[in-house]
């Protein structure tokens, strides 16, 4: 199977997961205001890592809620995606957004001053 097919499956799975997560009735998932940032399916389509970010809620509670709802989410994916095998889902928190915000805050707090002409030691 070519990489282009896996890429299309990853994108379609990400879109469908966003729609399915809106229908999950577990309050731990429903109140977390979460989004799916990426999906990564193995080449044999048996397993998928789902990366998500959440703005609210406790991390452990959200992880437990997603694990409890994994069967429902997988069944709904099987109905919407036309795949021979529906992959088993593993949910992983995506920390790249918070890491990027941390780096941006560090860069915004830097104080940049013009070099003094006396400190250049005669260099232009």
DSSP string, the chain: --HHHHHHHHHHHHHHHHHHHTT---HHHHTT-EEEEEEEE-TTSSEEEEEEEESSS-HHHHHHHHHHHHHHHHHHHHHHS--SSPPEEEEEE--HHHHHHHHHHHHHT----PPPGGGGTT--
pTM tops 0.85, yes or no: no
- Indicate the fold that domain 3-109 takes in CATH: GMP Synthetase; Chain A, domain 3 (3.30.300)
Pairing of strands 47-54, 34-41: antiparallel
Given this model, what pLDDT does residue 37 score?
92
pLDDT at residue 46, rounded to an integer: 93
Query: Domain spans of the chain?
Result: 3-109
* Average pLDDT of adjacent 10-residue blocks, the chain of 124 residues: 82 93 89 88 93 86 92 93 90 86 88 69 56
pLDDT of residue 122: 54
Q: Can you give the pLDDT at residue 119?
A: 61
Distance CA 9, CA 6 (A): 5
């Amino acid at each position: 199977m070519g990489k282009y097919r896996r890429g299309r499956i990853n994108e379609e799975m990400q879109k469908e997961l966003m729609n399915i997560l809106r229908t999950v009735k577990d309050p731990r998932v429903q109140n977390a205001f979460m989004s799916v940032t990426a999906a990564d399916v193995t080449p044999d389509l048996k397993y998928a890592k789902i990366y998500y970010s959440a703005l609210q809620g406790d991390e452990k509670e959200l992880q437990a809620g997603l694990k409890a709802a994994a069967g429902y989410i997988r069944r709904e994916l099987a109905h919407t995606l036309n795949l021979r095998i529906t992959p088993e889902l593993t949910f992983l928190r995506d920390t790249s957004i918070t890491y990027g915000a941390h780096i941006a805050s560090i860069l915004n707090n830097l104080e940049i001053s013009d070099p003094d002409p006396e400190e250049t030691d005669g260099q232009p």
